[in-house]
Structures are given as C-alpha cells and as structure tokens.
Amino acid sequence: MADRLDSSPGFPQPVRTPIIELLLLAGPTVAQMGSYTLMQFLDTWMLAHVGGGVNAPTAAANSGMFAFSIISLGMGVLWVVNTLASQSFGRKDYAACGRYLWQGTWFAVAFAVLLLPGLPWVSVAFVRFGHEPELVRLETLYLQIVVGFSVFKLVGTAFSQFLLAVDHPQYVLLATLIGVGANVIAAWAMIFGHLGFAQMGVAGSAWGQNVGVFFEMTALIAFACLPGIRRMYHVGDWKPRWRMLLTLLRIGIPSGVQIVADVLAWSMFGMWVMGVFGTKVMAANTFMFRYMVVSFMPAFGIGTSVTALVGRYLGRGEPAVARQRANLGFALAAAYMLTCGLLFFLGRNVLIGLFTRDAQIQRTGATLLMFAAVYQFFDAMYIIYNGALRGAGDTFIPALATALLCWGITVFAGHAVAVSHTEWGAAGPWTLATGYGIILGVFMLIRFQRGKWKAIPTSVSRSQEPSATFAWRKPCDGRA
C-alpha cells in the first residue's frame, strides 16, 4: 500500500510506495557512507604506497579507529538529533526541529573542548599495547591531529542529522561529496608531497581528513541556512534550551555509550588482540577491515534512514508503519551485505593483493576475509534494528547488550585465546568475534520484533505550547 508522505507545509504531499520512500531517503545517505568508505580506502592505499612498509597504513588505521572511539560518545548523542527532530517532524512541530539542532550543536562544541586536555597523553595507550616505537610515534601523531580538530566532525554531525530528519538527505550527500573531494585532494598532496607541500605521510593523511570534514561542515551549515529551511524549521533559533538539551542527553548518552563500547572494543581488538601476533597481522587485519567498511558503511546509511523513518512514523502515531519500514530496511541491507560477503569469499586473495605483496600478510588477510564473509548477514541485522530502536528512543538496553557482548567476547575472550592458543593465529580471536556478531544481530532482531518500543512515549512536546522554551514531556530513558 502506498503511504502519503507529508512534506513541507504548503507543498504537495506525494504518494510514495514504501520502497520508494525508503530509497529516496536512504539513497543519499548510502552514497554519503560510500563516499566515506572510498575516502578511507584511498587514504589507506596511498599510505601503503608512500614507502616505509606497513607501518604508515597500520598506524593510521589503528589511531583512526581509536580517535573515532574517543569522539564516539559525542557522536552517539548527536545521532539522537535525528531521533528527536524526526519525531518533531512527524508531529509537524517544525520549530522544535531547529531547536534540537542547536542543542546538538552546543553539545558538540562543549564535548570537543573537553577532549583537548587529554591529547598529550595518548601515546601512553599505544605503548601499553606493546607496539614498536616507530608505530607508536605515527599513531600518536595521527590521533592528536584528528582529535584536536574534532569539533568540525561533531558540529557537522549535528547538522547532517537535522537535515536527514527534515527530509533533505540530498544536501547531506552534496556536503559529503564536497568534503570527500577536498579530503582526497588534500591527502594526495600532503601524503605524497604535491602542490608545494612536503611529503608528510601519516600526518598528511590526518590533515587531509581535517580539511575534508571542515569543508563538509561548512557546506552542511550553508544548506541548513537556506532561506526556506531556515524559516520553516527555525534554524536561527540558536538559544540553549536546557530541558531540550536534557532530553537529548537522556536519550543520547546511552546511544553514545553504545557507540563507544562498540568502536573502542574493535579498536582494542585491532591494536591489543591482533597486536599479540605482531605488526604484519595487524596490517592484514587493517587491510581486511577496509573491505568490511565497504559493506557496513552503506548499511549504516540505510540504518540512519530507518532511524529517521521510525521516529517520523512514531511521531505520527503509526507504529505499524514504523515496523514495516525497519523490516524493509533490513531486507535491503541484508541483500547488499550478503553480496559483499560472497565477493569477500571468492575474491579474498585478489582483494588483499591490492594492498601488499607480502606473502604472510596476504595469507592472513585472505583468511580473515572468510570470517568477514560470514559476519555480513548478522551485521546487517544489528545495524538496521539497532537504528530502528534508536528511532524509537530505545537506547539503554541495546547499549548495555553491545557493551557486555563486545567486550566480553571480542576483546577479553579474544585476547585470552590469542595468548593461550597462538598456534591458531588470528583465526582464533576472529572465530569469537564472528560469534559475537551473530549473537548481537539476533538479539537486536528479537528486541525489535517483540515491540516493547511501542510503549515508549515520543520525547518532544509541541513547541507552540505555552512556555515553548521549556515545553517538555518526560523523555524516554531507553527502558522497554
């Protein structure tokens, strides 16, 4: 059945089939994530060919994941701007959309400032992982450059989530393309020493990323300030609203903790667990992970769209439609990721060979791609239904489950296996990591299908009510 999708006041309301509605919203976000994937792939490829062996790409991958884990608490909170603005959009409370954008922006600036005092001490972590001194130097350099300017990424995230929530994904895509284009040019110039720059290697990759996210953030702000969007969604209403900010934090902090738990655990897996086997195995894991990103980043784009649609339809009081959109998103993501898994399995030797000619790294990387192939279907299950639960405001239990399972199975049990059964090599920890992916995916599916999220009240009240600055219903806290 075709559903009528409300657009902006005064404009026609086009009738869209569910798949068209999902694709129109997901297409730009999938392209956005695909652009990020291409950027990361090219950066790793350039570092692998700049000279100096595998240290440069391994350092950038390790510290890049670690850097994201540091800012991911903030990112998780800012993704909830999508939830709250989507629910407001569905209820036609358009003023609240812009107000939640600004609560996210104020949080982003404050969070970025709080990260700065810890930067001089980050090398301690890499040393304790047992990495060789040159690798530690490169990892520290990359992380300090990226995290030092994380305010660009965080503010850009608030604006991108707002634009997705108010049904303008095309602007998110355009901003991403601008940012990725700037990043690729800057990284090429700084890594290899072109356009008057000295050859900077790992530092060039980090500065190139900062250039890219700055241009992306600037474009997102410009699009959000277009006259029609600015007027309709009160984008100029920049005042801090403490109760709206509290709502954002109550729902967003569990979401942020979940992202921290997940990303930091995988960062520890790459640096600590794989580090048991030495730099070459870490390099093989890095190269394999670049292909995993090819599969799960577009799926995250679909998941972000599912978050927006679930929030939108719950705001309209239509939970049955919200469930249908989530299931449709899973079918789409699973089809894509299963195709990627098949390619990983059949082309594993050729794919790893694009990064290195080292025989040991090629063998290890090809083995790990077989685990990645198995992981795909259940990763799609996790990504989509976790996004659906976030759209409903159900963030606490998913965060707790992710933290316990990822750290218990992937990190600590994985490290124990790596140390006690070194003869199994990287396949030992990756067997456990694959088991974790299966368990977590099934858990998210069951939690969503049980439907307890339907009882969670939408978290925003109409901004047109008296005392709109502080108008507030009891925010959901993630409890089923």
pLDDT confidence band for 460 (50 / 70 / 90): very low
**What pLDDT is recorded for position 469?**
31
- What contacts 24+ positions apart, CB below 8 Å, involve 416-421? 418/273, 418/274, 418/276, 418/277, 419/276
Q: Mean pLDDT over residues 31-40, rounded? A: 66
| Measured CA distances, 452 to 84, 313, 323 (Å) | 19, 16, 12
H or E element, residue 15: strand 15-16
pLDDT at 370: 94
- Chain-centre distance for alpha carbon 182: 20
d(CA 461, CA 297): 33
Mean pLDDT (whole number) for 232-258: 87
Percentage helix, strand, coil for the chain under 3-state DSSP, each rounded to 5 = 80, 0, 20
Give the integer Cα–Cα distance in Å for 30 and 164.
Answer: 12
* Gyration radius of the chain over CA positions: 22
Distance (Å, whole) CA 57 – CA 45: 8
pLDDT of residue 477: 34
Residue with tokens 């729902």: 251
- Planar angle of CA 439, 441, 447, nearest 5 degrees: 100
Does the structure show a pLDDT above 90 at 345? yes
Polymer length of the chain: 480
- Look at residue 143 and tell me whether its pLDDT is greater than 70: yes
Whether the Cβ atoms of residue 163 and residue 308 lie closer than 8 Å to each other: no
pLDDT tens string 66-117: 888 888 888 888 988 988 998 888 888 999 999 999 999 999 999 999 999 9
More reliable by pLDDT, 247 or 19: 247
Q: Mean pLDDT, the chain, as a whole number? A: 84
Q: What pLDDT was estimated at residue 64?
A: 77
Q: How confident is the model at residue 52 (pLDDT cuts 50, 70, 90)?
A: low
Question: What's this model's pTM, rounded to 2 decimal places?
Answer: 0.69
Q: Is residue 36 very low, low, confident or very high in pLDDT (cuts 50, 70, 90)? A: low
The H or E element spanning position 188 is helix 169-192
Compare 276 and 66 and report the one with higher pLDDT: 276
- Given a cut of 80, is residue 351 above it in pLDDT? yes
Dihedral over alpha carbons 84, 85, 89, 91 (to 10 degrees):
30
Angstrom CA distances, 3 to 13, 18, 101, 304, 308, stand at 10, 7, 27, 20, 16
Beta bridge partners of 3: 16
pLDDT of residue 397 exceeding 60, the answer is yes
pLDDT > 50? residue 470: no
- Residue 6 pLDDT > 50: no
Q: Average pLDDT of 397-419?
A: 92
Residues 154-160, mean pLDDT to the nearest whole number = 93
- pLDDT given at position 458: 62
Q: How confident is the model at residue 51 (pLDDT cuts 50, 70, 90)?
A: low
Residue 478 — very low, low, confident or very high, per pLDDT cuts 50/70/90? very low
pLDDT of 11: 39
Distance CA 46, CA 30 (A): 24
Report the alpha-carbon distance of residue 79 to residue 383 in Å, rounded: 14
Give the per-residue pLDDT at 468: 34
274 has pLDDT over 50: yes
pLDDT exceeding 90 applies to what percent of the chain? 37
State residue 13's pLDDT score: 46
- Asked whether the predicted pLDDT for residue 382 surpasses 90, the reply is yes
**What are the two backbone dihedrals, phi and then psi, of residue 139, each rounded to the nearest 5 degrees?**
-60, -45
Question: Which secondary structure element, helix H or strand E, spans residue 4, and what is its range?
Answer: strand 3-4
> Is the pLDDT at 398 greater than 80, yes or no?
yes
Residue type, 123: S
How many angstroms from the chain centroid is the CA of residue 464?
33
Per residue in 183-195, pLDDT (tens digit) is: 889 989 998 888 8
pLDDT digits (tens, 9 = 90+) for 295-343: 887 888 888 889 888 988 888 888 999 999 999 999 999 999 999 999 9
Q: What's the Cα-to-Cα distance from 27 to each of 18, 41, 136, 157, 338, rounded to whole Å?
A: 14, 21, 39, 18, 19
As beta bridge partners, residue 15 has: 4
pLDDT score for 222: 96
Q: Are 309 and 165 in contact (CB under 8 A)?
A: no
DSSP one-letter code for 347: T
Above 90 in pLDDT, residue 121? Answer: no
Per the DSSP assignment, residues forming a β-bridge with 4 are: 15
Residue type, 24: L
Give the DSSP H/E element, type plus range, for residue 19.
Answer: helix 18-48
pLDDT of 233 reads 92
Average pLDDT score over residue span 27-33: 70
Range 421-426 average pLDDT:
90
CB 475 within 8 A of CB 251: yes
Residue 474 has pLDDT above 50, yes or no: no
Nearest to 277 by CA among 289, 285, 267: 285
Give the Cβ contact number of residue 404 at 10 Å: 12
Q: Please state, in angstroms and rounded to a whole number, the distance separating the CA atoms of residues 119 and 141.
A: 10
pLDDT classification of 461: cutoffs 50, 70, 90: very low
The per-residue pLDDT for 404 is: 92
Give the distance, in angstroms, between the CA of residue 458 and the centroid of all CA atoms in the same chain: 24
